[in-house]
Chains A and B, each alone.
Chain A
């Protein structure tokens, strides 16, 4: 369990770097893609912000929360599967749905992909898969 929590923290840390990078780049001119084509189209589209706040800042808030929860969970070694991990599972489930929608927007509406956004979607999926399911029944030995 400890290794899994540490892995979640590492993935969330990478997510923080990705989200901060996008937030900084958004205000500094055209953003080149290296793998996909259309980073600029995605990051300057009307779907790149919600109520005037760039989506990347919401991503940053998500990754910071998950990272913090994972750190608290790892220090709370006596209670594997405790409250912080339940929150990680539920938050990452919600983030996964939102990520899916954003990937859908890229694929079907904008018809352009941003590699940094795709990386974020992969990180969210990874966190969701790593997070222990709080509602799974554990069988006694």
Chain B
């Protein structure tokens, strides 16, 4: 191999440059400032809460029930709530991306309809748990109805609420908030109006929350 040296140097340099470029492109955006769009995230008057009202940290999530990534994050968020039973509460907002998830609006409506009977979170958990069943369906309502009966809802009242324009408006208000906050992907999380970028890991949330609690 008389000419191994020069090509190897070129390859090693190129890999180094490619790695540097990839790291540069994948860097997280700078934390938002008090005056940026995300900092003015208005979640007042909407959302569903899980956890103590007087919690020091409110973790705001914008999610889509048909999004596989949101399903993957659901047990991670639950574990975070379990680890901080007094300090953290979750505030969930709908952001159904209906262009790619055609059943996501119906799923949000099912959760809201269950909320009318005081079982929003039970339905929230069911919807994620059985996502593979209802997501590909051309008519997911029977699946939602089965979940409703599983958690002990009144079926007629549930179906009536599913068609309620008021509940649809509530979801649309969340969508408007998400767009105003320039949310580009789901799930997106905020703490104190500041968007946080966290991987699918309980420890990543723990680090952010611990830092917030120390303030």
CB <8 Å contact, A16 and B14: yes
List A contacts of B68 (CB < 8 A). Answer: 40-41, 44-45
Given contacts A13-B14, A68-B7, contact A20 B22 (CB under 8 A): yes
CB <8 Å contact, A16 and B10: no
List A contacts of B22 (CB < 8 A). Answer: 16-17, 20-21, 23-24
**B96 CB, min distance to chain A CBs, angstroms:** 12
Whether A25 is near chain B, meaning CB under 8 Å from some CB there, is yes
Partner of A67, one of B11, B186, B187: B11
CB <8 Å contact, A37 and B99: yes
CB <8 Å contact, A24 and B100: no
CB <8 Å contact, A31 and B19: no
Given contacts A30-B188, A76-B3, contact A37 B97 (CB under 8 A): yes
Which residues of B46-80 have CB atoms within 8 Å of chain A's CB atoms?
Answer: 67-69, 72
Whether B160 is near chain A, meaning CB under 8 Å from some CB there, is no
Whether A112 is near chain B, meaning CB under 8 Å from some CB there, is yes
Whether B21 is near chain A, meaning CB under 8 Å from some CB there, is yes
Whether B138 is near chain A, meaning CB under 8 Å from some CB there, is no
List A contacts of B7 (CB < 8 A). Answer: 68, 71-72, 75
Task: Give Cα A33 to B184, complex, Å.
Answer: 7
Given contacts A71-B7, A71-B10, contact A37 B100 (CB under 8 A): yes
Segment at the A interface, from B23-31, B34-42, B116-124: B23-31
Q: Which of B14, B97, B197, B198 has the most CB of A within 10 A?
A: B14
- Residues of B near any A CB (own CB < 8 A): 3, 6-7, 10-11, 14-15, 17-19, 21-23, 25-26, 28, 67-69, 72, 97, 99-100, 184-188, 197-200
Closest 9 CB pairs of A and B: A20-B22, A32-B184, A30-B185, A16-B18, A24-B26, A44-B69, A21-B22, A32-B185, A40-B69
Q: A30-B187, A41-B100 are in contact. List 7 more A-B contacts (CB 8 A).
A: A16-B14, A37-B97, A38-B97, A39-B185, A40-B68, A41-B69, A71-B11
